[in-house]
Homo-oligomer: A and B are copies of this chain.
Amino acid sequence: MDAIRGTAKAELTAPVEAFLADLHARVSKVTGGSPADYIPELGKVDPSLFGIAIATVDGQIYEVGDTDVPFTIQSVSKPFMYGHALQRHGRPTVLKHVGVEPTGEAFNSIVLDEVANRPFNPMVNAGAIAVAEMMPGDTQEQRIGNMLDLFSSLAGRRLGIDEAVFRSELETGHRNRAIAYMMLNTAMIERDPNEVLDLYFRQCSVNVSCCDLAIMAATLANDGTNPLTGKAVFDAQYVRDMLTVMNSCGMYDYAGEWAYEVGMPAKSGVSGCIIAVMPGQIGICVYSPPIDTQGNSVRGIRVCQEISSEFELHAF
C-alpha cells in the first residue's frame, strides 16, 4: 500500500480499482451467514448487497459494488462516540465510566468489571451506553443534534436517522434496558436510562453508506481530520485511544483471530458493515449484510483478510 502514497494518482487508480473489482467478483461467491434479525427491520434487507470502499488520507476514494446504498451504522458508531466523549471530557473523566480492557464476555454482557464497577470497554454495549450518556446538550433534542453533527462531520455530508430501525430497536431493546438499569444501580450512569437509551438507539440507527464509513475510517487514518473536508474532528491523541480499543475489542469475540489474520484496528456492526484503519494511509469499509454467529459480516472478514495480505497491512 506504500505504493498508493508514493505514486502519481493517475498511474495508481487503475491497478487498485482492478484489484478491488477482482476481489469483489471473487468474494461475491462466498456464501454463509445471514442478515441479523433480532430487530425485525434489519431482517428485511437484501442479503446480496455487497460494497467495498477505500478512502485514502489524501481524499482519494476507490469503490466497487453497492457503495451508496444506505444502511444503519449500528456498533460502528461506538468508536466515534467514544472519541467524541474523550474530546469533550478528557481521558480521566471518560476512564471513570468505562475501561479499556478486552473481555471474554459477549458484547451484550451485563457483567461489569468487579473492581472498578464500570463496563470493561467502550465497544461492549454497556460501555457504549455509558459513553452515550456523555454526549453534551441541555436537552435531549440538543444531544440528538450534537450526535448527528458528529457523524455528519465524519462523513462529510448531512446524515439522518432511519426511523423504522430506531423504533424497532426501541421496542425490542430490553437487554440494553436491563444493562442501563444495572449501571444506574451502580451509579455508572446518572440520567434517566430511557433518555440515554433513546440517544443510544438513535446513534445505532444513523443511515450511512459504504463510502461514508470509508471516509470516517480514513478520518481516523488521517489523525482525526476528515480527508475530504479538511475538518479536524478529533485530536490525534484521542484517535490513538480510539484505534487502541478498536484493535483489542472491535470485532466482538473474533478480536483475537482478527488480530492474528488481519491485524488492523477495526469495528464491525450487525447491519453487516466492517471498517478497518491503516493509520497514516487508508480507511476501509466493506458492507455485506450476512453475518456469522459472532456478529461479523462474513464477506467483510474475507475482504479485509485479502486486502491486509495483498497490501501487507498487518500491524506487525
Contacts and interface: CB of A to CB of B under 8 A. Distances in A.
B248 A100 contact: no
Given A181-B181, A316-B240, A260 B174 contact: no
A107 to B, nearest CB: 14
A93 to B, nearest CB: 15
Q: How many copies does the complex hold?
A: 4
A120 B255 CA distance: 12
Interface in A245-278: 245, 247-248, 253, 255-257, 259-260, 263, 265
A115 to B, nearest CB: 10
B265 A244 contact: no
A195 to B, nearest CB: 14
Interface string A99-135: 1111111000010000000001100000000000000
Nearest to A182: B178
Interface residues of A, number: 41
Contacts of A102: 102, 104, 248, 255-256
A241 interface: yes
A279 interface: yes
A184 interface: yes
Contact of A184 (B104, B174, B241): B174
B243 A248 contact: no
Contacts of A178: 110, 177-182, 185
Given A104-B105, A243-B316, A247-B259, 9 more contacts: A101-B253, A101-B257, A102-B104, A103-B104, A110-B178, A174-B181, A174-B182, A174-B193, A244-B315
A167 interface: no
B260 A256 contact: no
A260 B103 CA distance: 15
A175 interface: yes
Contacts of A57: none
A193 B110 CA distance: 18
A123 to B, nearest CB: 11
A239 interface: yes
Given A255-B102, A256-B121, A185 B174 contact: yes
A151 B56 CA distance: 43
Contacts of A244: 259-260, 263, 315-316
A182 B108 CA distance: 11
